Amino acid sequence: MMHVNMIGIAIAVALLIRLLSFQTQPATQPSLQNWQRRWAKALSVFVVPPLFLLMTAVAVIVMGRGGGHEWGGQLSYQISVGFVAIAGLLWLHLSWQAFSAQRSICQHPVKTIQTAFGPVVSHVINVPEAFSAQVGCWQPALVISQGLMTHLDNEHLAAVLAHEEGHAHYQDTFWFFWLGGLRRLTCWLPGTTELWQELLLLREIRADRWAGQRVDTLVLAESLMSVVSMPLKSSDRSSEAVWAGFSCPAAPSRLSQRVDALLANDTAVPEPISSRLIESHWVCMAWSLTPLLTIPFHR
């Protein structure tokens, strides 16, 4: 029964972390430190519960079924194997999505666009919608639409491309590939959708801030307002884990927060994340691995 109890405790802990995290609301003032705190909190609360569940399942699998007559050991082992197998299948599916999307993008012609911060190489899709994105996983491909190039002048187009360079700099498609798997694996946990949307928003704000170091933030804000006024015909929300783009669909509240962050006075002076935030973040991540410590004590 020990393994069943471990699984029950892991589920209870995951639920408790999520429920307690929503008792305090993130600050809305558009300052750099507030965005950093929101990012650290959202990422920790999003990642720790599913990672804690996964590590519990791995620990149970390593410890084995137990005695053949012990129904609890057999049940916990089968549940753990099923959970880990589902996780593996989800990431395999996302890998196929990323591979298929990138292969499809690479079939389109490549164009070199001259900008104020240097030449940018991009695949160009001949569609009227205004669209730009980094598509793929570890080495994503930049893609923009002909509609975007027609809709924006050179200055505003350069601002959009600077934003996409920000996604590439932070390797957003790679990290959100893994986060997207966690989202699907634990979609049943409370707050998963809200935390995912929060991370998507903060990801775009971070790329906006990166672009703000290279182009005028007012021009970038104008580009944002102009591009989102031309919505895509359809949006596959399942693909958000394998692409990151300036024109990704957003609710009005998310759009206003991006504009507020762009126009805040501190956008032009990026500051490093405080050591206290980094330390607390890694402590949370390390704590999610604690179920593995039970393995040596198993007989």
For the stretch 180-192, pLDDT in tens is 999 999 999 999 9
pLDDT at site 277: 55
- State the chain's mean pLDDT as an integer: 82
**pLDDT tens digits, one per residue of 136-154:** 888 888 999 998 998 889 8
More confident residue, 76 or 52: 52
pLDDT at site 131: 84
Residue 298 pLDDT > 90: no
Q: What is the per-residue DSSP string for the chain?
A: -HHHHHHHHHHHHHHHHHHHHTTSPPP-S--HHHHHHHHHHHHHHHHHHHHHHHHHHHHHHHH----TT-HHHHHHHHHHHHHHHHHHHHHHHHHHHHHHHHHHHTTSPEEEEEETTEEEEEEEE--SS--EEEESSSSPEEEEEHHHHHHS-HHHHHHHHHHHHHHHHTTHHHHHHHHHHHHHHTTTSTTHHHHHHHHHHHHHHHHHHHHHTTS-HHHHHHHHHHHHTS--S---GGGGGTEE-TT----HHHHHHHHHHHHSTTTTS--PPPHHHHHHHHHHHHHTTGGGGGGGG--
Residue 179 pLDDT > 90: yes
Residues 109 and 130 sit within 8 Å (Cβ to Cβ): no
Which residues are bridge partners to 244 per DSSP?
A: 134
Residue 71 pLDDT > 70: no
- Average pLDDT over every residue of 285-299: 79
pLDDT at site 72: 62
pLDDT at site 124: 92
Structure confidence at residue 270 as a pLDDT band (50, 70, 90): very low
CA–CA distance from 290 to each of 6, 57, 81, 200, 284 (Å)?
12, 12, 19, 28, 10
| 71-105 and 172-185 helices, crossing angle to 10° | 140
pLDDT at site 234: 45
**What letter represents residue 176's amino acid?**
F
- Average pLDDT over every residue of 189-212: 91
pLDDT at site 285: 77
pLDDT at site 225: 86
**pLDDT tens digits, one per residue of 160-174:** 999 999 999 999 999
**pLDDT tens digits, one per residue of 81-119:** 999 999 999 999 999 988 888 888 888 999 998 887 788
Domain map (residue ranges) of the chain? 2-297
pLDDT at site 254: 77
Residue 248 pLDDT > 70: no
pLDDT at site 182: 94
**pLDDT tens digits, one per residue of 12-69:** 999 998 988 776 554 445 555 677 788 888 999 999 999 999 999 999 998 887 654 4
